[in-house]
């Protein structure tokens, strides 16, 4: 089991148990993530990557163990943590514009009664600009391509100005232009000190996109700097597969 202590952890998980009825997926998971890294969560289908994210975010009933974000339980720091789900599923006729969707990302910091004002609209505009979609601001969200929708989801997460961004497969089904834009945005965020946790499937780009890696196989089997962790030896030990892309 990986149990690496880091200085200034942004995420700290201790003794996490999570899964579904009659299907315990994660058992006694403990790890820490340092501030300002892009952490790739890597593992085969069914290894428990999405389950890990959901359990950490308190979305799975029956989860036990301790999860701290930015030194607090999530309930205390919700506005500082953004979650970007795997995809935005919606009725294509849903009458909401790209700008509206991005503006939703500012709601967590607003509280129950306040409505988004000038500041929030400016943040949403900046976020949309960052993902290079300003020209589509007034489009109904249903008219966008899959890759453009992923960028809107990212802009929505950015509009809340998070310190920690949790993403479930941000490159799933996106075109090359969108992938490049998302990667550039993640690099910019990292340069600003934002920590990024992302489930990542493409083993060929792990070393390029991530500076830390967690190898997940019904637990976090290995976690650490990418070059030391994403190695052929570890891939073989944890998953039983050697991989050419790894050193």
Ligand X SMILES: Nc1ncnc2c1ncn2[C@@H]1O[C@H](COP(=O)(O)OP(=O)(O)OP(=O)(O)O)[C@@H](O)[C@H]1O
Considering only residues 38 through 57, tell me which ones interact with ligand X, judged by CB under 6 A.
43, 45-51
Cβ of residue 39: shortest distance to ligand X, in angstroms? 15
Sorted by sequence, the CB contacts under 8 Å of residue 120 that are 6+ apart come out as 103, 106, 110, 159
**Cβ distance to ligand X smaller for residue 5 or 23:** 23
Cβ of residue 217: shortest distance to ligand X, in angstroms? 9
Q: Is there binding between residue 219 and ligand X (CB under 6 A)?
A: no
* From 19-27, 32-40, 96-104, 228-236, span contacting ligand X (CB under 6 A): 19-27
Nearest CA-CA partner of 31 in 229, 233, 221: 221
Here the tokens at position 199 are 């489930």
Q: Is there binding between residue 75 and ligand X (CB under 6 A)?
A: no
Cβ of residue 196: shortest distance to ligand X, in angstroms? 17
Instruction: Indicate which single residue of 25, 131, 154, 165 sits in contact with ligand X (rule: CB under 6 A).
Output: 25
Cβ of residue 27: shortest distance to ligand X, in angstroms? 12
Angle at the Cα of 86 (from 160 to 41), degrees rounded to 5? 90
- How many residues bind to ligand X according to rule CB under 6 A? 11
* Site residues (vs ligand X, CB under 6 A): 20, 23, 25, 43, 45-51
């Amino acid at each position: 089991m990986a149990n690496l202590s880091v200085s200034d952890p942004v995420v700290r998980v201790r003794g996490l148990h999570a899964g579904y009825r009659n299907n315990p997926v994660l058992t006694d998971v403990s790890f820490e993530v340092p501030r300002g890294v892009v952490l790739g969560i890597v593992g085969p289908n069914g290894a428990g990557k999405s389950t890990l994210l959901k359990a950490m975010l308190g979305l799975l009933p029956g989860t036990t163990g301790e999860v701290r974000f930015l030194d607090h339980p999530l309930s205390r720091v919700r506005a500082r943590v953004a979650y970007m789900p795997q995809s935005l599923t919606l009725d294509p006729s849903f009458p909401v514009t790209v700008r509206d969707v991005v503006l939703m990302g500012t709601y967590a910091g607003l509280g129950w009664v306040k409505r988004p004002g000038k500041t929030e609209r400016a943040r949403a505009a900046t976020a949309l600009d960052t993902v290079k979609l300003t020209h589509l601001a007034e489009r109904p969200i249903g008219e966008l391509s899959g890759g453009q929708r992923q960028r809107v989801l990212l802009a929505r997460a950015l509009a809340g100005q998070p310190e920690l961004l949790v993403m479930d497969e941000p490159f799933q089904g996106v075109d090359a232009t969108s992938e490049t834009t998302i990667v550039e945005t993640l690099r910019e965020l990292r340069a600003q000190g934002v920590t990024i946790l992302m489930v990542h499937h493409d083993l060929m780009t792990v070393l390029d996109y991530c500076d830390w890696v967690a190898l997940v196989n019904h637990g976090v089997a290995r976690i650490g700097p990418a070059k030391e962790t994403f190695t052929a030896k570890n891939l073989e030990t944890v998953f039983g597969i050697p991989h050419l892309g790894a050193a």
